[in-house]
Chain A
């Protein structure tokens, strides 16, 4: 008998079983994240020892340290973690329901949808409307895009392949729309928007972190509630329908959770690419395909990657602060190519 850890709510739908391995991995990754966040907070123009970082966070540090850590670095690093976790979770959900390892919010255009809305917000409403509304704008963009992709791909139901293809097409359209807005806007905001488009957590304030946090803490656990549904959907449409799943409705619902996570992440971090693709893959290697494990572990790995990438991006090329998205794309795109190669014999 395998060691299992059981969680059960009143309704059997929300019951789940966690292998102890998943718990161990989750705990280890949580510690790793904490350690990396503390180390990263200490590194930069002014280096601060990890002990002093912890002291400062607990409110016992010096004034200097407190300013550097509390107003500059910590919000940025926390944002990096949240963005990574949300993107990875969004990708894990999408890959689970679309059953295609190549699906991720940025390949099928959901991220671009959020970007178009956010760039429109930045270039046309910047100054006039509070920045607090940026996440809402980005999420609306992601939502509208998903509806468009989904309805375009609908033909007596949605097949994964059609969804991916239509997504790629829509992605092209959105990318050129974004560029049009950049070209038509005054050049200063254009270069700002361009950096944002590449994906950066530079200059993130606590305000942004607070705006994003609810989305992460509501939707990742919510996705956990549907974990069993995702497990069934992963078996394929016919089997899932045979097992009594309302395949189309559930896929639609889960897609909305994915959209909320991806949209809020794009609003804060911009177009940070490929996290939604890489993190779930690494996760499945470690804990296997069961969604109860894939979701939390993906989120933690996603957070870890973005925090690490951002640490490199802001320290390795000082005084340049390179957008973190350049690094995630530099790692992610070759990985995507590797996946294509590895899945070369998969039937389309």
Chain B
């Protein structure tokens, strides 16, 4: 595995450059789109907010929430992906591929169409429950049998669970056509049209999970040496895995609650993070967070331009980015990765 940035100084410098890149992307996400806005509009919307200015209204109510939501979700999904890849020892693991996002989606659609839940906070908890159920099911199903958890088995388990959850979701939506038009765009994965309130409802949980992931990084390092080695070093591997699973569940659950199932960020980004930062999860996790935020912001900007005047769901862009990578890894062979 590559380690382009040797040494702590180079890696810290990388983080600084990444942060600058991230801020530029957030700025680009705010100013680019169907309505062009300028730097002065952005500054004024913070300093002298003028409700009669269309540009400033767009910035405040649409662009800023969208940029911050994309950044937060990109970072969350990337960290979730890094953790799952570590626990399952599978380079293709990702909240989408393992059926976690679909589990959360199913729970949300069920809550919206059958239970008529509308509050974002409730939806977030429901989504979290769905994500944890999906993750636990994929993990258990992938690890039954003599050789335990193999990378192939967990992918197949994820495919089965995705199919199961999405068919139930389809069943509910078919019975409820009104519901269909409400959730179709959301089901494809999008950060458009979300409000700041949605982010503020989940933001504390996301941030806490990021910190928790960083704190867990040292134990993850031990775990990636192999289950037996970790046990030999006195680690309670089950506890570490459960902690990581809960963090993944919260991060994926919050992301799905806001933006629907966005795939492949969690698969591609940890790979890039390892390329820059090597094998130490104390570096991989912050790198994943920054790169994930940047990738989702860029994908979202692209989503606005590809089929103008309409807009693509950003999940489609991330799939187009992620699939070639998936195929590349599948061709190379899972076991060697």
**Across the interface, do B188 and A180 meet the contact criterion of CB distance under 8 Å?**
yes
Query: Which B295-337 residues have C-beta < 8 A from chain A?
Result: 307, 310, 312-313, 315-316, 319-320, 322-323, 326-327, 330-331, 334
Q: With A184-B310, A325-B167, A326-B171 as given contacts, are A344 and B326 in contact (CB-CB < 8 Å)? A: no
Return A148 CB to nearest CB of chain B, in Å: 10
Q: 8 Å CB contacts to B: which residues of A190-246?
A: 190-191, 194-195, 197-198
Chain A residues with Cβ below 8 Å from B156 are 102, 164, 168, 340
Within 8 A of B (CB), among A132-191: 152-153, 155, 161-162, 164-166, 168-173, 176-177, 179-180, 182-184, 187, 190-191
Instruction: Say yes or no for A345: interface residue by CB 8 A criterion.
Output: yes
Could you tell me if A198 and B331 are in contact, using CB atoms closer than 8 angstroms?
no
Residue A344 contacts which of B145, B185, B189 (CB distance < 8 angstroms)? Answer: B145
Bitwise, A99-112 to B at CB < 8 A (1) or not (0) is 00010001100000
Q: Is B175 among interface residues, defined by CB-CB distance under 8 A?
A: yes
Interface check A35, CB cutoff 8 A: no
Query: Given the known A-B contacts A107-B163, A273-B167, A333-B160, are A179 and B187 also in contact in the complex, defined by CB atoms under 8 Å?
Result: yes
Chain B neighbourhood of A177, CB < 8 A: 316
Which residues does chain A contribute within 8 Å of B171, judged by CB atoms? 198, 322-323, 326, 329-330
Contact A330 to B160, CB < 8 A, known contacts A172-B319, A187-B181: no
Please, how many angstroms separate the alpha-carbon atoms of A187 and B173 in the complex?
A: 14
Bound-complex Cα distance A173 to B264 (A): 11
Task: Flag whether A24 is at the interface (Cβ < 8 A).
Answer: no
Query: What 1/0 flags go to B141-161 for Cβ under 8 Å of A?
Result: 100111100101101110111
Q: Kindly list chain B residues whose C-beta atoms are within 8 Å of the C-beta of A273.
A: 163, 167
- Does A12 sit within 8 A of B, measured CB to CB? no
Classify the secondary structure of A's interface with B.
Answer: helix
Chain B min CB distance to A210 (Å)? 27
- Taking a contact as CB atoms under 8 Å apart, the answer to whether B164 and A337 are in contact is yes
* Nearest Cβ on chain B to A344's Cβ, whole angstroms: 3
Which residue of chain A has the shortest Cβ distance to B163 in the bound complex?
A333
User: Given A183-B185, A191-B180, A333-B160 in contact, is the A169-B327 Cβ separation under 8 Å?
Assistant: yes
B96 within 8 A of A: yes
Q: Which of A176, A191, A332, A348 contacts B181 (CB 8 A)?
A: A191
Known: A169-B323, A194-B173, A198-B174. A176 touches B152 (CB 8 A): no
- State whether the Cβ of B125 lies closer than 8 Å to any Cβ in chain A: no
Question: Which of the four size classes fits the interface of chain A?
Answer: 35 or more
Say whether B157 contacts A340, CB under 8 Å.
Answer: yes
Return the chain A residue nearest B150 by Cβ.
Answer: A348
Once the chains bind, are A176 and B175 in contact (CB under 8 Å)?
no
User: Which of B153, B155, B175 makes the CB contact (< 8 A) with A168?
Assistant: B155
A10 at the interface (CB under 8 A from B): no
Q: Which of B152, B189, B323 contacts A173 (CB 8 A)?
A: B323
Whether the Cβ atoms of B155 and A341 lie closer than 8 Å is no
Chain A's closest residue to B141 (CB) is A340
| Interface residue A127 (Cβ < 8 Å from any Cβ of B) | no
In the complex formed, the residue of B with least CB distance to A106 is B163
For B180, the closest partner residue in chain A by CB is A191
Q: Which of B152, B157, B313 contacts A180 (CB 8 A)?
A: B313
User: Any chain A CB within 8 A of the CB of B184?
Assistant: yes
- B263 at interface, CB cutoff 8 A: yes
Give a binary string over A314-325; 1 marks a CB under 8 Å from any B CB, 0 the rest.
000000101101
Dominant secondary structure at the B interface: helix
Q: How far is the CA of A330 from the CA of B173 in the complex (A)?
A: 14
Pick from B163, B184, B187, B330: contact of A169, CB below 8 A: B330
* Cβ–Cβ < 8 Å partners of A183 in chain B: 184-185, 188, 312-313
Which chain B residues border A330 with CB–CB below 8 Å?
167-168, 171
B167 touches A337 (CB 8 A): no
Asked if A336 is at the interface of the complex by the 8 Å CB criterion, the answer is yes
A3 in the interface (beta carbon within 8 A): no
- State the CA gap A112–B181 with chains docked (Å): 22
Quick check: A344 and B164 within 8 Å, CB to CB?
A: no
Contact of A326 among B167, B185, B319 (CB under 8 A): B167
Answer yes or no: B213 CB below 8 A from chain A CBs: no
Which residue of chain A has its CB nearest to the CB of B332?
A155
Bound complex: CA A346 to CA B310 (Å): 48
**Complex-state Cα separation, A348 to B148, whole angstroms:** 12
Q: How far is the CB of B287 from chain A (nearest CB, A)?
A: 25
Given A107-B159, A336-B163, are A166 and B331 also a contact pair (CB < 8 Å)?
yes
Q: Specify which of A155, A195, A197, A322 is in contact with B331 (CB 8 Å cutoff).
A: A155
Residue from A172, A190, A334 within 8 A of B326 (CB atoms): A172
User: Which residues from chain B contact A191 at a C-beta distance below 8 Å?
Assistant: 177, 180-181
**Selected A-B contacts with CB under 8 Å, 8 pairs:** A166-B330, A168-B97, A176-B315, A176-B316, A329-B168, A330-B171, A341-B144, A344-B153
Given contacts A194-B174, A198-B170, A348-B150, 18 further A-B contacts (CB under 8 A): A153-B331, A155-B331, A162-B330, A166-B330, A168-B97, A172-B319, A172-B326, A176-B189, A176-B319, A183-B184, A183-B313, A184-B307, A190-B180, A194-B184, A322-B171, A323-B174, A329-B170, A330-B171
